[in-house]
Amino acid sequence: MVQQLSLFSAIDDPSYDLFISTIKTISGNPPVLFANVNTIWNLNPDNEVQQINKKNQLVEPNRIKLSTNVPLDILADSDSSDSQSRAPRQLDYTLMKHLQTDALPVIEGELKSLLKNSGINLTSDSDMNVDSDVKQSNNNNQAWSLSMSDIPAAGTSKKVSIQLISESSILFTDSNASSLTAFMNGLGYILDYSYITVGSKFFFPDNLILDAYKIWNFDSDKSTQLTKGGLLLKAYINVSKNTDIERINQAEKSLLLLQKELQGFVEFSIPDRQSMDSRSEAPDII
């Protein structure tokens, strides 16, 4: 289990250039472009799930997140008027400046086939008809990360957000249908929603990472950008041993130092923990 310590903020689109050059100076590292697609799974309402297990321990039903990287070569400019050739002008942090509309930052067909190869269909009947395209087996080695997280720790004295995350890496899915959807359905989960994240990432000393990113709600009918007009900022440190108090304290210090350093330009703060609640009954975040 990983303890993730984080602080959040946001900047508007015009500040992006200044932000990049500032952080480049502070971190001493260049920005790295990243992109991922995330699918959120919730409990199948057909199942009656109890809050306690057989040993009478409280286990709150939680959403599951499956996420994978989006290959950078299927990224696309979203403000380019020509819908045919949406290839990005430059595949680096400057791409973020051309992603200000609702249009998806990826070539949609490519992404859909990537998902389909892992057995994820975004159409609404996905949870029923997984067996119908059984024969469409594949050479799919797309790795996925399966994670479940707790609601961030409570307490008004907290200076940074602390969230416990459990994660397992799926290297390969195998069966005649090779279907993640079928597997998740078997587990008792159905697809809830999915989203795409594209952003720039900075590496700091002490394993501190600062992500500046935009989020798109990925829906087969209508996709929208949720971060229109700006970028979300997330500064975080993952402490791989959740009992390592010393490193947690050190991580908190590093985050607070960054917060202080950027004061006046970017104000980092703790997000409302309710908004990071992934329990099943909690309202959808997107």
Partner 1 sequence: MTRTAVIFNEKATPDALVEFKDALSNTLTSILEPWSLEFKTFRKTTKNERSSNSSNIMYSVSFAHHDKGTVLIHDKYAIITTNNSNDIPKDLILNTCSTGTTEPIDNLLALRLSNIWSQRQGIRGDAGETLQTTNLIVRVVNLFSSTGFKGLLIELNSLDDDVSEEEFKISVDHVQTVLKDINCKDFKLSTDRLNFNENNGNRKLNILSDLAYQYIQVLEY
Which CB, 72 or 80, lies closer to partner 1? 72
Tell me the HSE value of 277 on the side-chain side, using a 13 A CA sphere.
Answer: 13
| 3-state SS, residue 41 | strand
Please, which residues bridge with residue 191 across strands?
41
Is residue 250 near partner 1 by the rule CB under 8 A? no
Is residue 245 near partner 1 by the rule CB under 8 A? no
Query: What are the b/e assignments for 176-185, b being 16+ CB within 10 Å?
Result: ebbbbbbbbb
Number of residues this chain uses to bind partner 1 (CB under 8 A): 67
| 3-state SS, residue 208 | coil
Q: How far is the CB of 55 from partner 1 (least distance, A)?
A: 8
CA separation, residue 246 to residues 4, 162, 243 (Å): 14, 14, 9
C-alpha to C-alpha distance for 45 and 61, rounded to whole angstroms:
12
- In the region spanning residues 121 to 160, those forming contacts with partner 1, defined by CB under 8 A, are 137-141, 143-148
Asked if 188 and 212 count as a contact pair (C-beta separation under 8 A), the reply is no
Q: How far is the CB of 180 from partner 1 (least distance, A)?
A: 8
Which CB, 84 or 168, lies closer to partner 1? 168
Asked if 16 and 275 count as a contact pair (C-beta separation under 8 A), the reply is no
Which CB, 21 or 240, lies closer to partner 1? 240
What does the per-residue mask of binding to partner 1 show for 56-75, with x meaning CB under 8 A?
-x-xxxx----xxxx-----
- By CB under 8 A, name the one of 83, 155, 171, 281 that touches partner 1: 171
Which CB, 129 or 166, lies closer to partner 1? 166
Is residue 4 near partner 1 by the rule CB under 8 A? yes
Is residue 81 near partner 1 by the rule CB under 8 A? no
Please, which residues bridge with residue 5 across strands?
162, 237
Q: How far is the CB of 141 from partner 1 (least distance, A)?
A: 5
Residues 6+ apart with CB under 8 A from 24: 30, 31, 202
Q: How far is the CB of 118 from partner 1 (least distance, A)?
A: 10
Which CB, 54 or 260, lies closer to partner 1? 54
Which CB, 47 or 269, lies closer to partner 1? 47
Going 183 to 189 to 190 to 192, the CA torsion angle's sign is negative
CA separation, residue 261 to residues 257, 266, 267 (Å): 6, 9, 10
Q: How far is the CB of 34 from partner 1 (least distance, A)?
A: 4
Which amino acid, 123? T
Is residue 243 near partner 1 by the rule CB under 8 A? no
Q: Among the candidate windows 22-30, 93-101, 152-160, 177-185, which touches partner 1 by CB under 8 A?
A: 177-185
Which CB, 24 or 201, lies closer to partner 1? 201
Report, in angstroms and rounded to the nearest whole number, the Rg of the chain calculated over CA atoms: 20
Applying CB under 8 A, the residues found at the interface with partner 1 are: 1-2, 4, 32, 34-36, 38, 43-44, 46-55, 57, 59-62, 67-70, 137-141, 143-148, 165-180, 182-183, 185-188, 197, 201, 211, 238, 240
